[in-house]
């Protein structure tokens, strides 16, 4: 096959692997551009990244996250709290990995999605806390201002997870304020 001949399609109907890589690369570039535009204020309204963690939907402010990376192997840390999964090597930096569901004392549940969909969402360096949330799936960019705010009882959730929204499809989203989370004394106490 010469260089001008396109690769034959996959027997299952999938595009050739070069096209898949190109599509994924294009998607990643577009997502990065939108995240940078949101951080600079250029994309009015689009300021949140939607993620799924243990079947629940969360919104993360794009100005409070660093990057999205494929889930890396995590090395457990002795005598750490169950919600502190351990350390992962992300681009040469050791980063603490947090299981948010366990941190919120949610009952254990089957982890939805395929392991290939799992991502680590790192905290922005300006928060001064080198850690990442383990997300089962990244659901893309969302705009909480286009959702219906849900009234919450004053004691229902911590301040950093106290705002909830319903989207047009009836899904409930919780907006996480990572800047408030890292200031919570319990969050800094990962060991027994």
Q: Tell me the pLDDT of the chain (192 aa) as tens digits.
A: 444 444 444 444 445 555 555 566 666 666 766 666 655 554 455 689 999 999 999 999 999 999 999 999 999 999 999 999 999 999 999 999 999 999 999 876 666 666 889 999 999 999 999 999 999 999 999 998 889 999 876 667 888 998 999 999 999 999 999 999 999 999 999 988
Token digits of residue 161: 């997870």
What is residue 91's predicted lDDT score, i.e. its pLDDT? 92
Helix (DSSP H) and strand (DSSP E) numbers for the chain:
4, 12
User: How far apart are alpha carbons 53 and 71 in whole angstroms?
Assistant: 13
Three-state SS at 165 = strand
Distance CA 78, CA 141 (A): 36
The predicted pLDDT at position 3 comes to 46
Specify the pLDDT at position 24: 66
- How far is it, in rounded angstroms, from Cα 113 to Cα 92? 27
Which residues are 173's β-sheet partners?
Answer: 57, 165
pLDDT at site 11: 45
Q: Which residue has the tokens 């990442």?
A: 132
Exposed/middle/buried for residue 138 (C-beta within 10 Å: 0-12, 13-18, 19+)? middle
The two tokens of residue 96 are 């603490």
pLDDT reported for residue 19: 54
**What whole-number distance in Å separates Cα of residue 163 and Cα of residue 157?**
9
Question: Token digits for 118?
Answer: 């799992």
- pLDDT (0 to 100) of residue 145: 86
pLDDT at 121: 98
**What length does the chain have?**
192
């Amino acid at each position: 096959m010469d260089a001008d001949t396109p690769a034959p399609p996959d027997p299952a109907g999938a595009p050739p692997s070069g096209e898949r890589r190109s599509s994924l690369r294009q998607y990643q570039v577009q997502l990065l551009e939108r995240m940078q535009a949101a951080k600079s204020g250029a994309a009015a309204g689009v300021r949140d990244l939607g993620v799924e963690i243990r079947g629940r939907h969360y919104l993360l402010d794009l100005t409070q996250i660093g990057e999205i990376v494929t889930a890396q192997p995590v090395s457990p840390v002795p005598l750490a709290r169950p919600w502190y999964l351990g350390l992962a090597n992300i681009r040469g930096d050791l980063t603490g990995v947090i299981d948010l569901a366990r941190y919120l004392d949610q009952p254990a549940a089957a982890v939805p999605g395929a392991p290939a969909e799992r991502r680590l969402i790192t905290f922005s360096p300006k928060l001064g806390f080198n850690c990442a949330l383990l997300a089962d799936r990244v659901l893309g960019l969302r705009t909480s201002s286009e959702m219906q705010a849900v009234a919450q009882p004053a004691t229902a959730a911590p301040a950093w997870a106290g705002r909830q929204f319903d989207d047009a499809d009836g899904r409930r989203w919780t907006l996480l304020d990572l800047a408030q989370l890292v200031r919570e004394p319990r969050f800094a106490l990962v060991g027994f």
